[in-house]
Chain A
């Protein structure tokens, strides 16, 4: 038996025990579901607080909250076309939600979703219209998806690259690109894409169209499969690969990650590119599944909504799916009760969910610490 002899160590040497950087790294990469209870609690507290705030707003406009919430639930659940619209909306924000959740876990706040979705829509429509009319679906669909992802990824990668190479904060560059990309898209539309006098471009090749689900004439379409597949891929990368470990390690502590030999800059650029590609893929929902053409303002708002989805979903891929469904349902619910309360009321609820969840995070942490 040997015992470590403290006096034998040179002065200034590290205390025996695990390397603190290594501990932080290991903490960062715990098993995927270890904090599941905490995250679910946070999301539920945030949702309940939002329902409370929404109820107060309903009282202000002179309506009984119980009646409005019940109408929202029952009318949406029993109307196939409202349910379909909820699913259509959920499909888009599931992808933009992933595009926020993935970088957030890597310590980057991607609010460039608007720019990335618009780029994806333009890229997808450009390739879709360039394809010859008779292109079979097996070729047309992957090509259009690839174009959407590449165009979105280009914007995301630029934001990540500027952060790494020039130290430009991703929030500021994202906001500028959110204004610039739709402006350039409008320019392209007016100059080359829109058919005379309209704000709609030429239709994409019919092989690139994704079938509608036929829910009460709603826009819900097969691109939900693309969204679910993307969720599955992100889940797998996050939980099962060294890439997932690397991006979460960078998010927890860039210094510790650097010590562990991870190239922080490269991870940040790759993560932002992937996020942009995910947001760009939302074009599958808007262009390939619904409008079959480039349209001014198509997909607008879904990039920003992704922030709510990611936060409510607690950055976990499964959580993102649930949050997208909840918020998609909420927006259909807003339509369902538009005769009872002004539609602006339901619009305000979405950022309120974000605020409430953000405030619930430290609350739950304190509750855990107190136990």
Chain B
């Protein structure tokens, strides 16, 4: 037990929490931006997974982690464009589109692995950031986004239009701005953020593994809802999830006699507990969320 405390109260533990939080926080900010514009963003999982795959593939091809990150962000934007195309362009149900895209991502990345690398579950190695925190540009991107996204939503013309598209699209129409275009712009930014989050997954370990996002997109969305669609609060909530995950790893590493199967469930159980404790109907979603 004292060994566990030693692990938890250390700089290395804090660094691990930060690194674990990066994909959650980027996905949650992406989700907050997309949802505030009125588009339900259940496809976060797909953006993380395709982002992770593209970052590994581009990183492998160019031998540059930075270009890999760019590829991951582009992949997230591509998923967002397909999502908006299906839900706003064709008018399909936004929840169903999101869930379907997530399943497409799980099978689609396997298909691409097979097609490009003739591999079943793992991509060939790509440059990795590893455990480094300060020299990892994705960490800095997260910090930058955590400062600018809340500000931009509140103060900039882009943010005001985006929020109007989510709350009162009719008002936006009245001033001659297309809500659909504002939503597309928001979703692309949101997709890029989530794609960057996915890049961290593969660039941290130097390769893509099938289904490596393992539900993080859904947890990030839960944090968005929990924070009342406020990106800064969502980032803080994601730090909490990351702490829970780091703790469960610390338990497994130090071999404290608790059930490993149950400790691994800590992030999910925490999310569920928080959802139960804090009533959902007191948080008001964007007024036109999910409507066209």
Task: Decide if A347 touches B111 in the complex (CB within 8 Å).
Answer: yes
Q: How many residues of B contact A (CB 8 A)?
A: 43
Does A169 make an interface contact (CB < 8 A)? yes
A-chain residues with CB within 8 Å of residue B264 when the two chains form the complex: 183
User: Chain A contacts of B261 at CB under 8 A?
Assistant: 183-184, 186-187, 190
Instruction: Choose, from B58-66, B185-193, B217-225, the stretch at the interface.
Output: B217-225
Known: A359-B90, A362-B91. A191 touches B275 (CB 8 A): no
- Cβ–Cβ contact B275 & A351, under 8 A: no
Judge if A229 is at the interface, Cβ distance under 8 Å. no
Docked complex Cα distance between A173 and B225 (Å): 12
Asked if A297 CB lies within 8 Å of chain B CBs, one says: no
Residues of B within 8 A of A168 (CB): 275-276, 280
The distance in angstroms between the C-alpha atoms of A179 and B281, with both chains bound, is 24
Interface of chain B residues 91 through 116 with chain A (CB within 8 A): 91-93, 95-97, 99-104, 107-108, 110-111, 113-115
- Tell yes or no: B233 within 8 A of A by CB: no
A-side interface size class: 35 or more
Flag if A361 contacts B93 (CB, 8 Å): yes
Residues 337 to 371 of chain A near chain B (Cβ within 8 Å)? 342, 344-345, 347-348, 350-352, 354-355, 358-359, 361-363
Given contacts A177-B272, A359-B90, contact A347 B222 (CB under 8 A): no
Q: Mark B250-292, 1 if CB is under 8 A from A, else 0.
A: 0000000001011011001101100110011110000000000
B103 touches A304 (CB 8 A): yes
Interface of B is mostly: helix
Cα-based distance from A191 to B257 in the complex (angstroms): 13
Partner of B215, one of A166, A179, A184: A179
Residue A167, interface by CB 8 Å? yes
Which of A166, A183, A307, A342 contacts B99, CB < 8 Å? A307
Q: Inside 8 A of B108's CB, which chain A residues have their CB? A: 348
The answer to whether B281 and A355 touch across the interface, beta carbons within 8 angstroms, is: no
Counting CB contacts under 8 A, is B139 at the interface?
A: no
Rounded to whole Å, the gap between the CB of B22 and the closest CB of chain A is 20
> Which B-chain residue is minimally distant from A185 (CB atoms)?
B261
CA distance A186 to B265 in the complex (A): 11
CB of A175 closer than 8 Å to a CB of B: yes
Closest chain A residue to B224, Cβ basis: A172
- Which residues between 53 and 79 of chain A lie within 8 Å of chain B, taking CB atoms? 57, 60-61
On chain B, the residues within 8 Å of A249 by CB distance are: none
Contact A351-B111, Cβ < 8 Å, known A183-B261, A190-B261, A358-B93? no
Could you tell me the distance between the alpha carbons of A344 and B119 in the complex, rounded to whole angstroms? 11
- Which residues from B are CB-within-8-Å of A184? 261-262, 265
CB nearest neighbor in A for B91? A362
Tell me whether A175 and B215 are in contact in the complex, defined as CB-CB below 8 angstroms, given that A180-B265, A183-B265 are known contacts: yes
Cβ contact within 8 Å between A176 and B115: no
Whether B17 is near chain A, meaning CB under 8 Å from some CB there, is: no
Taking a contact as CB atoms under 8 Å apart, the answer to whether A167 and B282 are in contact is: yes
Residues of chain B within 8 A (CB-CB) of A348 are: 104, 107-108, 111
Bound together, the chains give a CA A57 to CA B269 distance in angstroms of 39
Q: Find residues 124-164 in chain B having any chain A CB closer than 8 Å to their own CB.
A: none
CB distance from A177 to the nearest CB of B (A): 7
B29: CB under 8 A from chain A? no
Say which residue of A60, A175, A178 sits within 8 Å of B115 (CB atoms): A60
A-B contact pairs, 20 of them (CB 8 A): A57-B111, A109-B96, A111-B99, A167-B281, A167-B282, A168-B276, A169-B280, A172-B225, A173-B272, A175-B215, A179-B265, A307-B99, A344-B114, A351-B102, A354-B99, A355-B92, A355-B96, A361-B92, A361-B93, A362-B90
